[in-house]
Amino acid sequence: MTDEQRKFLFLKQIKTLDTLKEHGAISGEQYEISYNGLVSKMHITEKELKEWTEKK
């Protein structure tokens, strides 16, 4: 998987988590657990995380 594919997949999954949280389908705690698990399992570095989630 290329870095661009990883970025796309990660951001897509975060968007899904955001939507679930907005609609009350998951709690803030569940969101954090899922978010951190996703970062860990996808081996996202702090640098990538900052670059990919930084608001422009």
The 10s digit of each residue's pLDDT in 26-46 is 999 999 999 999 999 999 999
Q: What is the mean pLDDT of residues 2-28?
A: 96
Whole-number pLDDT of residue 56: 57
Average pLDDT, the chain: 94
For residue 14, pLDDT over 70 is answered with: yes
Q: CB–CB of 38/9 below 8 Å?
A: no
Q: Which two tokens stand for residue 15?
A: 């968007």
Selection from 51, 56, 55 nearest residue 10 by Cα: 51
Task: Please give the single-letter amino acid code of residue 54.
Answer: E
User: Does the pLDDT value for residue 54 go beyond 90?
Assistant: no
Distance CA 51, CA 44 (A): 11
Mean pLDDT computed over 7-36: 97
Q: How far apart are CA 45 and CA 25, in angstroms?
A: 28
